[in-house]
Amino acid sequence: MKFEQNFSMLFEDLNLPELFITEYFCNANGDYVKIYLYCLFLCKYGGEISALDLSKKLSIPIKSVEAGLKYWEEQKVLIKKNKTYELADLKMIAVNKLYTPKLTSSPEDAIENNERNVLRTQAINEINTSFFQGVMSPTWYTLIDNFFQKYSFDEDVMVALFRYCFDKQALHAKYIQAVAEGWANQKITHMSDLEKYSAEREQTDKIKKSISKKLGYTRNLTQFEEAYIEKWTKDFNYPMDVIEIALKKTTSTPNFNFKYLDSIITDWHEKNLNTSIDITNYIKEQKQKAKELKSLKKSIEQGQTTLPKYFSESGQYTNLDQYYSDL
């Protein structure tokens, strides 16, 4: 395969645009960066090299070389043309990102708009200095400006968004976009909304860990198991003490699963049992009814015909609540 360039390079220096550092370097693994830099070097002289020779030259496994080339193709940094690779002009890529029909402002417009609002300007500066060492690339200014317009985030939420992604070691556009979408779906616009959401999230995470511990799981909960727990905590607003009652009454059953556990908790919710006290009293009532049923059967066997009000003349109960198997 042969590497060619489509932009001029002067003297003996490699022309590495700073955009490579700000836009690509931090998100690519070390082997991929080595591959790109060597390809850039080859482009200077129109050099040719096979993937196998590139593997040997850089001391990188052939699979990693192939994966690296594919990665840069996906990033549109390398353009494959038959057996030839062309290195794209990173500056032109940045320009194309900035000026697409979906965007309503250029970096310069974004900065100008932000300067009209002191708080917004302070937020932009804080993001730049805290997470980009003061050298935030132009595309980020436009992205932030679009976030302000699309999601109506206030300045504190915008800074918190970047801090969250930075702490997750995922400070790249796709991840930040996904988190921003998630926050917007939760109707987060102000810091108070975010604090409430974070507190609820933290409480749900604690309950997930507590359930895993009580079940003796050494594995992570599956996506479906987590969905059940979020249903109980968010939709039903049940705390851990309610879920623990269900766990105690179901984990001893054969072939325990979350679907069965969910059926119990959903039954409580449909009966408007909102607290552990409500549920405990309900269970006591069921036990009492079970005891009465046992006494009734004994009376019938002895020829007694007087029936409790919730039984029909045939001896079948008509409005007795569903019994659990372990009552």
Q: Which residue has the higher pLDDT, 194 or 5?
A: 194
- What gap in Å lies between CA 152 and CA 260, rounded to an integer? 42
The stretch 101-112 carries a mean pLDDT of 57
pTM: 0.54
pLDDT at 326: 42
Cα dihedral across residues 75, 78, 81, 83: positive or negative: negative
If one compares 312 and 66, the residue with the highest pLDDT of the two is 66
Q: Which of 29-38, 217-226, 287-296 has the weakest average pLDDT?
A: 287-296
- Select the more confidently predicted residue: 308 or 142: 142
Q: Hey, what CATH topology would domain 194-274 get?
A: Arc Repressor Mutant, subunit A (1.10.10)
The reply to whether 2-94 and 100-189 are identical in fold is: yes
List for the chain the helix, strand, coil content (%; round to 5).
Answer: 65, 5, 30
For residue 85, the tally of other CB atoms under 10 A from its CB is: 19
Give the residue from 83, 54, 81 showing the smallest Cα distance to 68: 54
3-state class (DSSP) for residue 2: strand
The pLDDT, as a whole number, for residue 83 is 72
Residue ranges covered by each domain of the chain: 2-94, 100-189, 194-274
- Position 73 confidence tier, pLDDT thresholds 50, 70, 90: confident
Q: Which of 64, 52, 55, 138 is nearest to 103 (CA)?
A: 138
Q: Enter the CATH code of domain 100-189.
A: 1.10.10
Where does 2-94 sit in CATH, by number?
1.10.10
